[in-house]
Chains A and B, each alone.
Chain A
């Protein structure tokens, strides 16, 4: 079993819809949680970074962490065609900079 599980999709939604992306993890030592966005043929870029359980909002993006359930989510409101990309969750342990990634969810926003 992988430490981080993520549904690979693909996921297609109409423009303007709310998108929900999720990851589950098995290692309770993970303390830092990130969402990266990767466009085709590009490197991943950091979207959101959270440390504790709860919600963090940045514009149209909301990251949610539930440590008791070992479950993290990324919500995208008012989705745009430019949001079409692969979204990767990533996690790390305190004192260890190694990032453990999910396999990524490929998202397409249909105009």
Chain B
């Protein structure tokens, strides 16, 4: 158990809908990262927050947004969902915001868009 929790574990929804994925980092970790894992693209970095502020952006679609709250939990919002958004979404956390920090991954949320 990495100490990172994600809810829900599974999410099934329809095209055009909006969902929110939640992540609680390990105790004391200030950085939260979101990744998308699909069969054809592998694990892709979406976005990073550090202590409430956006730190880095990757291949995140404009339909997706995220935030980190004062208690350091983070939410990833996915809107106008398309079939191609079906994937595993992982949250990871690290103590600080340094390249040498280990990123600890949560168990993931499996999103299915029908």
Contacts and interface: CB of A to CB of B under 8 A. Distances in A.
Interface of A: 31-32, 36, 41-46, 49, 51, 88, 90, 92-104
Given A43-B90, A88-B43, A96 B107 contact: no
A51 B33 CA distance: 21
B7 interface: no
Interface of B: 2, 4, 31, 33, 35, 42-45, 48, 55-56, 58, 90, 92, 94, 97-108
B98 A45 contact: no
B107 A97 contact: no
A102 B2 contact: no
A93 B100 CA distance: 10
A99 B100 contact: no
A92 to B, nearest CB: 5
Contact of A42 (B45, B98, B107): B107
B100 A32 contact: yes
Contacts of B4: 43
A67 B106 CA distance: 31
Contact of B56 (A32, A46, A97): A97
Contacts of A88: 42-43
A98 B48 contact: yes
Contact of A97 (B35, B98, B104): B98
B42 A101 contact: yes
19 contacts: A32-B100, A36-B105, A43-B2, A43-B105, A43-B106, A43-B107, A45-B2, A49-B102, A51-B100, A90-B43, A92-B99, A94-B99, A97-B33, A97-B56, A97-B94, A97-B101, A99-B103, A101-B43, A102-B42
